[in-house]
Amino acid sequence: MFGRFKFINPEICPNTELDDAWLAFKILLQKNITVDSQEKVKQWFKNFFNLTDTCQIYLTDSGRTALYLILKSLNLPKNSQVLIQGFSCVVVPNAVLQAGYQPVVCDIEPQTFNFDLDKIEDKITPQTKAWIVQHTFGIMVDMHRVKQICNQHKIVLIEDCAHSLGSTFAGKPAGSWGETSMFSFGRDKIVSSIFGGAVIINKPNSEWQRRLNQEYQKLPPLEPEKELKSLVFTIISGFILPLYHFWVGKIVLSLIMKLKIVPDIYSYEEMLGTDKFFGQKYSDKLAFLLLNQLKKFEKFRIHRKKIAKIYSDELNLKYYPQASYLRFPVNLEWLKDQEDYTSLYNSILSRCKKEGIFLGIWYQNLFANKETDLSKFNCRLEDLPTAKRLLQKRVINLPTHIHVNNEDAVRIVKEINTALQAQST
């Protein structure tokens, strides 16, 4: 029966398979990892992006730490402005504040949920020094236009590839357009070791790179507790969560949540918005776990695109063949023209939940949680009309990860269509 034998949730370890859980178990029993796993991860990135040996890669505990390292080492004048978009994660504006700059939050456009390039020039001032371009859900914005705007205004282009490892624009990969780029290996990303991140910087022998190296050296090692929780959580996700619908999994999940074994994606302080920095280095053990995911990267990539294509065909929505589709976003406005989408939104979510499938809810809030104090980022929703409209329960994200098969995708579409029909009658 649909969803009976698996746990489909794009938030909770969507990439973890049995071999990952088994590996995590073996790593847990080992004192030291003998292979140089962090070097191997770097080598994977060098091969993937065809990088020369002069190009540096730094591995961190998270994407946010990677972003901080990039921004801090840029060494811009204090209070320089950095363009970021709404529909992001709170840790992005946090990293800007932590580096001593001002985030300038820009509006999005409703098709790809990326920067609205028609509005961007209104936000550029002489203080604008950097632009963090995020390829939301793995869909890329027109990068030729972005590059042209950056060149014209002498703005440093930073690519946030937290959602988009494997996406391309005009045949060129996400992560190779900017002067620097960052990646996340968080638990709900393209490949995952529960925590992790990377910086790529292609500025050999530059002051920027020297400072980045210095900032990296200052980071403390990964907290042993964070590493332990990541391994335990991987084991539980691989072995127990598939039993979610037999109650065992459900009970174990609520137990590990209560016991705080599920590592929080961010702390309460980070959730509110903060200029305090918490970053750490990566670890050999998590890198070892990640290497197994990277081996499956191509399988994951092909799978996500295949599932996204089913959603696009069945719902008659645009498909971006170059996108990696971390999730398949649906703006409910594309399906139906009405004033208030709340009941449709709630109905789709609850229908799928009854079938054992949790849909993603990026973005119900500008920075993915309702606690964030937007005034810390000098941001008012009134200034972001498209984002403000879409935040009113109009965007759902359909899962594309490896545990979703063709039949699941078709059933999700069926639930959406039934909810739409119920609205019309």
Ligand X SMILES: Cc1ncc(COP(=O)(O)O)c(C=O)c1O
Q: Which of 162, 201, 235, 404 binds ligand X (CB under 6 A)?
A: 162
Stretch touching ligand X by CB under 6 A, among 76-84, 156-164, 285-293, 379-387: 156-164
Q: Is 159 in the site for ligand X (CB under 6 A)?
A: no
Q: Which of 186, 279, 356, 399 binds ligand X (CB under 6 A)?
A: 186
Q: Is 166 in the site for ligand X (CB under 6 A)?
A: no
Q: Is 379 in the site for ligand X (CB under 6 A)?
A: no
**Residue 7: CB minimum distance to ligand X, A:** 20
Chain mean position to CA 410: 25
The 3-class SS string of the chain reads CCCCCCCECCCCCCCCCHHHHHHHHHHHHCCCCCCCHHHHHHHHHHHHCCCCCCCEEEEECCHHHHHHHHHHHHCCCCCCEEEEECCCCCHHHHHHHHCCCEEEEECECCCCCCECCCCHHHHCCCCEEEEEEECHHHCCCCHHHHHHHHHHHCCEEEEECCCCCCCEECCEECCCCCCEEEEECCCCCCCCCCCCEEEEECCCCCHHHHHHHHHHHHCCCCCHHHHHHHHHHHHHHHHCHHHHHHCHHHHHHHHHHHCCCCCCCCCHHHHHCCCCCCCCECCHHHHHHHHHHHHCHHHHHHHHHHHHHHHHHHHCCCCCCCCCCCEEEEEHHHCCCCCCCHHHHHHHHHHHHHCCECCECCCCCCCCCCCCCHHHHCCCHHHCHHHHHHCCCCEEEEECCCCCCHHHHHHHHHHHHHHHHHHHC
Q: Is 134 in the site for ligand X (CB under 6 A)?
A: yes
Site string for ligand X, 207-246 (x = CB under 6 A): ----------------------------------------
Q: Which of 7, 15, 45, 64 binds ligand X (CB under 6 A)?
A: 64
**Residue 89: CB minimum distance to ligand X, A:** 4
What residues from 89 to 118 belong to the interface with ligand X (CB under 6 A)? 89, 91-92
**Residue 130: CB minimum distance to ligand X, A:** 15
**Which residue's CB is nearer to ligand X, number 57 or number 91?**
91
Stretch touching ligand X by CB under 6 A, among 85-93, 270-278, 374-382, 413-421: 85-93
**Residue 75: CB minimum distance to ligand X, A:** 22
Q: Is 3 in the site for ligand X (CB under 6 A)?
A: no
Q: Is 167 in the site for ligand X (CB under 6 A)?
A: no
Q: Is 138 in the site for ligand X (CB under 6 A)?
A: no
**Which residue's CB is nearer to ligand X, number 163 or number 285?**
163
Site string for ligand X, 305-334 (x = CB under 6 A): ------------------------------
Residue nearest to ligand X (CB): 63
Residues 198, 60 contacting (CB under 8 angstroms) = yes
Q: Is 160 in the site for ligand X (CB under 6 A)?
A: yes
C-alpha span between 1 and 270 (Å, rounded): 40
Pair of tokens at residue 416: 């959406």
**Which residue's CB is nearer to ligand X, number 90 or number 335?**
90
Q: Which of 86, 166, 173, 197 binds ligand X (CB under 6 A)?
A: 197
Residues 78, 227 contacting (CB under 8 angstroms) = no
**Which residue's CB is nearer to ligand X, number 184 or number 234?**
184
**Residue 367: CB minimum distance to ligand X, A:** 9
Q: Which residues bind ligand X (CB under 6 A)?
A: 62-64, 88-89, 91-92, 134, 160, 162-163, 184, 186, 197, 265
